[in-house]
Amino acid sequence: MHHTNAHDLSCAAGQILIGGFEGHQPPQSLLDAVRHGRLGGVILFARNCHSLEQVQRLCHELAQLAPNSHPLWLAIDHEGGPVQRISANLGATKLPSAAQCAAKNNPRLTYDIAAIAATELAALGFNLNFAPVLDVDTNPLNPIIGQRAYGQTPQQVIPHALAVIAAHKDHDIFPCGKHFPGHGDTHLDSHLQLPRIDHDIERLRQVELQPFAAAIAAHCPLIMTAHILFPAIDPVLPATLSPHIIGILRQELAFQGLIVSDDLEMAAIAHHFGTNEAIVLGLRAGIDLFLICRDQNLWHDAYEHVIRAAEADTDLRDRLLCAARRIAHTKTQLNAPSPHPEWRQRLGTPTAHATCQRVTGP
């Protein structure tokens, strides 16, 4: 029998976490965590981006701190439209929204737009973009998805979503489809509350699950879960924490890649479960990677908590090590970060601007 030592557990506990911070300079505690493998990735938001030079320097500093055995995820939500973390004001290309791309009904053009996003992110040193949105925008009152979706039917969403996945893979950025099993038909924002969707599994199979099935068939490497209750499948736990809902992704859709939680600091989770409990429940449900996007105390506590919980529970320990193995396997495909001397010339180019104009222009 393979004996798990404390080092394996502490390493695994770090690898399942992607953390964020406030301000333009990461706190020393985050730098230490990255250096010692106690954090598997870092996510940046607009609040962390002061200039292109600062972002590029930050990404490469962080990447170089990480142990060679466990390269770092450098992640961002850079969808275009309302969710673009590195703004045009800093010198990135202003990207159209998913809805604007879809309105052109030309997946090749959507590919070109996503290729701009991926090229610019790679130039800055990122390797993971939480895009595309695979949600089907079936509810006009949805406060959070709307123009972030590529359409009102799965048939509209799929060709554009696949174009975005391909463009990212072709330009050395890992894409991540979101928010499983579908955030399109909610009227609450899971950042603020815990939404519920009362569809039965048949309706989910016909609508919400279709883009996820297509993305999995196209080898999308990561899928993010939604903090939403689907009482027809699990009356108690939201998708992120539900073995039944994650089970649909793993068994029915046969997804072999990484499953990542949406931010555990969102009220849908934080106010109902608490981060530490959520991570243990999420691990048991089959999540591999957890986002804690702002509060370093939370991800530090979660790290300690997961180790203690795994030491006390063999099943949880096995699940943790299984998640860490899956992450390590995926990370073997990460390119070693080497800043290109001409990186600055790859952002905000006239060609990129002209391509976006084809979508947003008259």
Structural domain span for residue 171: 16-313+327-360
Residue that has been written with the tokens 């972002």 in this structure: 55
CA 339, CA 227: separation in Å to the nearest integer? 36
- Tell me how crowded residue 332 is: count the other CB atoms within 10 A of its CB: 7
Q: What is the pLDDT of residue 343?
A: 94
Q: What is the pLDDT of residue 1?
A: 40
Q: Would you write out the chain's pLDDT as a tens digit for each of its 362 residues?
A: 455 677 899 999 999 999 999 999 999 999 999 999 999 999 999 999 999 999 999 999 999 999 999 999 999 999 999 999 999 999 999 999 999 999 999 999 999 999 999 999 999 999 999 999 999 998 887 777 889 999 999 999 999 999 999 999 999 999 999 999 998 888 878 888 888 889 999 999 999 999 999 999 999 999 999 999 999 999 999 999 999 999 999 999 999 999 999 999 988 888 888 899 999 999 999 999 999 999 989 999 999 999 999 999 999 999 999 999 999 999 999 977 677 889 999 999 999 999 999 999 87
| 47, part of any domain | yes
CA dihedral 173, 326, 74, 218 (to 10 degrees): 20
Catalytic residue, from 234, 262, 263, 288: name it. Answer: 262
| 319, part of any domain | no
| 5, part of any domain | no
Catalytic residue, from 36, 50, 60, 191: name it. Answer: 191
| 148, part of any domain | yes
Q: Structural domain tally of the chain? A: 1
Structural tokens at position 95: 């990207």
Q: What is the pLDDT of residue 145?
A: 83
The verdict on whether 191 is a catalytic residue reads yes
The verdict on whether 262 is a catalytic residue reads yes
Contacts of 142 (CB under 8 A, 6+ apart): 183, 184, 185, 186, 187
CATH of the domain at 199: 3.20.20.300
pTM for the predicted model, two decimal places: 0.96
| 188, part of any domain | yes
| 46, part of any domain | yes
CA 196, CA 21: separation in Å to the nearest integer? 30
| 4, part of any domain | no
Q: What is the pLDDT of residue 3?
A: 57
Q: What is the pLDDT of residue 195?
A: 86
CA 286, CA 13: separation in Å to the nearest integer? 15
| 1, part of any domain | no
Give just the sign of the alpha carbon dihedral 255, 204, 262, 212. Answer: positive
As a three-state string, the secondary structure of the chain is: CCCCCHHHHHHHHHHCEEECCCCCCCCHHHHHHHHCCCCCEEEECHHHCCCHHHHHHHHHHHHHHCCCCCCCEEEECEEECCEECCCHHHCCCCCCCHHHHHHCCCHHHHHHHHHHHHHHHHHHCCCEECCCECCCCCCCCCCCCHHHCCCCCHHHHHHHHHHHHHHHHHCCCEEEEEEECCCCCCCCCCCCCCCECCCCHHHHHHCCHHHHHHHHHCCCCEEEECCCEECCCECCCCHHHCHHHHHHHHHHCCCCCEEECCCCCCHHHHCCCCHHHHHHHHHHHCCCEEEECCCHHHHHHHHHHHHHHHHHCHHHHHHHHHHHHHHHHHHCCCCCCCCCCCHHHHCCCHHHHHHHHHHHCC
- Tell me how crowded residue 143 is: count the other CB atoms within 10 A of its CB: 14
